[in-house]
């Protein structure tokens, strides 16, 4: 008998006070199906399908307040109704034995007046508008620069959202400090033109994010807090002239909190090398500097994920699009079975019900055609092909 080789992604890892059985993390994925900002029962099926015993799931970006929204039908966690709606979803994930962190966010200027209470201007670090996108025709509204004395109120919204997440049953929160949203609008020098103590120097630009981190750690304990950062990403006109210094400064701030659970970083934009998309693997200095669990994300597949775990480049790897299309991703990695292709057309569709594809009906008796089952029959076929005999 040939001894089975250990698959690096499927080895256990201790994350703070939690014990993970594998390192395949569900990345936060906005799905735009939380009507009127209230999470819906179908999310319990969606998340629990991706939950495994000892796995870690990160919920989609979830608004901290009424001004935090910028996309249709995204969930919130600032009202009691929203907290109560999250509870059965979190329970469903816990019943499968997985950990569940809630990503909490504020979009800042990535919004329009239509999303804002009373049609007001979106708030930001700046009153500079995001350059309208000629290709998509998307125009974000001109934001209003927050006054210095308003900033503690937003910090408090984050603090309350974290408390609410714990009340909803989440194991912790991931602060959304990435992708050009409010925290990054302050952090990066392309979008921070302030002259008060929240602008100018690196320390000043990071002050708002650091205050949010400190407030949340104080509220729910460092052992329930992680953060997502993307110093190299230039999404939504948010870029920095020295992303390396920015990332290092933020990691140093996280290290001040003993037991801060994780730092989740998004890779720089992928490059094409020899005709193949390559992950830049630009996060090593931050991984080395950070004291807690380090999660890498952005373009990973099975091979690259195993490689970075084996090399000690990351403790965990977060998967977005392929986890969306393959709810049983850890099992597929174990079997090295083929993956379903993701379907961009359904990433953000508000209706979780899509017409069934022809092939879905063949042998698919009893299956619902709900989109939140994302390729479920297809998936069953692949699993059976791989000799794995369990179906949900
Ligand atoms: C449909 C979709 C929704 C996303 N929503 C979020 C989100 O809510 N929060 C976030 O930080 N990133 C979000 N992302 C980015 C993903 O978390 C991830 O970083 C990205 O897809 C790259 O990883 P991948 O190559 O494994 O897909 C989203 C990506 C997609 C495709």
Give distance in angstroms: CA of 29 to centre of ligand 1.
5
Q: Mean of the pLDDT values across residues 37-42?
A: 96
Q: Is there a contact between 85 and 38 (Cβ–Cβ < 8 Å)?
A: yes
- Continuous segment of H or E residues that includes residue 151: helix 151-168
Given the residues 181, 249, 262, 373, select the one marked as catalytic: 181
Report the nearest-CA residue for atom 4 of ligand 1.
29
Residue 271: pLDDT above 70? no
Burial class (CB in 10 A: 0-12, 13-18, 19+), 203: exposed
Show the tokens assigned to 243: 């992303």
Q: Which of 64-68, 257-261, 270-274, 292-296 has the lowest mean pLDDT?
A: 270-274
Sign of the Cα pseudo-torsion (113, 117, 118, 120, in order): negative
| DSSP H helical ranges for the chain | 42-49, 80-95, 151-168, 182-187, 202-220, 243-255, 284-289, 302-310, 321-325, 329-335, 358-361, 376-385
* Residue 181 a catalytic site member: yes
70 lines ligand 1 (CB under 6 A): no
143 lines ligand 1 (CB under 6 A): no
Q: Is there a contact between 232 and 243 (Cβ–Cβ < 8 Å)?
A: yes
pTM above 0.75, yes or no: yes
φ, ψ at 169 (rounded to 5°) = 110, -5
Query: Which residue, chain included where needed, has tokens 């919920």?
Result: 59
Task: Please give the residue that has the higher pLDDT: either 268 or 27.
Answer: 27
Give distance in angstroms: CA of 176 to centre of ligand 1.
12
Report the nearest-CA residue for atom 18 of ligand 1.
320
Q: Which of 91-105, 118-132, 268-282 has the lowest mean pLDDT?
A: 268-282
Q: Is there a contact between 292 and 315 (Cβ–Cβ < 8 Å)?
A: no
Task: Please give the residue that has the higher pLDDT: either 301 or 384.
Answer: 301
Show the tokens assigned to 136: 């998509």
Name the 3-class secondary structure at 227.
Answer: strand
Confidence of residue 278 (pLDDT cuts 50, 70, 90): confident
Given the CA of residue 348, which atom of ligand 1 is nearest to it?
Answer: 1
Q: Is there a contact between 336 and 317 (Cβ–Cβ < 8 Å)?
A: no
- Which residues, at least 6 apart from 307, have a Cβ–Cβ distance to it below 8 Å? 8, 313
28 lines ligand 1 (CB under 6 A): yes
Given the CA of residue 60, which atom of ligand 1 is nearest to it?
Answer: 8
pLDDT digits 0-9 by tens, 206-243:
999 999 999 999 999 999 999 999 999 999 999 999 99
Q: How many helices (H) and strands (E) does the chain have?
A: 12, 15
pLDDT digits 0-9 by tens, 323-334:
999 999 999 999
Q: What is the rounded CA–CA span in Å between residue 84 and residue 95?
A: 17
Given the CA of residue 266, which atom of ligand 1 is nearest to it?
Answer: 19
Report the nearest-CA residue for atom 12 of ligand 1.
28
Name the 3-class secondary structure at 27.
Answer: coil
Beta strands in 163-261 (DSSP E): 172-177, 225-229
What is the DSSP code (8-state) at residue 2? P
320 lines ligand 1 (CB under 6 A): yes
- Which residues, at least 6 apart from 377, have a Cβ–Cβ distance to it below 8 Å? 359, 360, 362, 363, 364, 367
Q: Is there a contact between 316 and 226 (Cβ–Cβ < 8 Å)?
A: no
Closest CA to 123 of 139, 135, 140: 140
205 lines ligand 1 (CB under 6 A): no
Q: Is there a contact between 47 and 57 (Cβ–Cβ < 8 Å)?
A: yes
Q: What number of CA atoms fall less than 13 Å from residue 220's CA on the CB side?
A: 28
Q: What is the pLDDT of residue 281?
A: 81
306 lines ligand 1 (CB under 6 A): no
């Amino acid at each position: 008998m040939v001894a089975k080789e250990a698959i690096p992604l499927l080895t256990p890892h201790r994350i703070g006070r939690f014990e993970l059985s594998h390192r395949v993390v569900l990345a936060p994925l906005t799905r735009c199906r939380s009507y009127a900002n209230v999470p819906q029962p179908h999310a319990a099926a969606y998340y629990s399908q991706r939950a495994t015993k000892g796995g870690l799931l990160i919920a989609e970006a979830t608004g901290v307040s009424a001004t935090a929204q910028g996309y249709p039908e995204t969930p919130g966690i600032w009202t009691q109704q929203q907290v109560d709606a999250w509870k059965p979803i979190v329970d469903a994930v816990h019943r499968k034995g997985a950990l569940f962190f809630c990503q909490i966010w504020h979009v800042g200027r990535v919004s329009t007046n239509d999303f804002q209470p009373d049609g007001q201007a979106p708030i930001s670090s700046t009153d500079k508008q995001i350059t309208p996108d000629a290709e998509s025709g998307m125009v974000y509204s001109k934001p209003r620069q927050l006054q210095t004395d308003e900033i503690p109120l937003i910090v408090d919204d984050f603090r309350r959202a974290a408390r609410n997440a714990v009340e909803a049953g989440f194991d912790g929160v991931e602060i959304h400090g990435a992708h050009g949203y409010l925290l990054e609008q302050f952090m990066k020098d392309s979008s921070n033109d302030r002259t008060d103590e929240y602008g100018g120097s690196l320390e000043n630009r990071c002050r708002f994010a650091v205050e949010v981190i400190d407030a949340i750690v104080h509220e729910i304990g460092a052992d329930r807090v992680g953060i997502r950062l993307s110093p190299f990403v230039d999404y939504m006109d948010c870029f920095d002239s020295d992303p390396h210094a920015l990332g290092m400064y933020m990691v140093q701030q996280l290290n001040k909190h003993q037991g801060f659970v994780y730092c989740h970083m998004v890779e720089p934009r992928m490059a094409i090398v020899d005709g193949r998309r390559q992950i830049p693997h630009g996060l090593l200095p931050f991984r080395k500097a950070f004291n807690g669990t380090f999660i890498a994300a952005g373009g990973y597949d099975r091979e690259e994920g195993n490689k970075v775990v084996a090399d000690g480049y990351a403790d965990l790897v977060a998967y977005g699009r392929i986890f969306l299309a393959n709810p049983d991703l850890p099992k597929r990695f174990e079997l090295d079975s083929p993956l379903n292709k993701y379907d961009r057309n359904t990433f953000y569709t508000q209706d979780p019900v899509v017409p069934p594809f022809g092939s879905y009906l063949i042998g698919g008796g009893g299956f619902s055609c709900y989109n939140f089952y994302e390729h479920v029959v297809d998936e069953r076929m692949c699993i059976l092909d791989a000799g794995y005999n369990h179906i949900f």
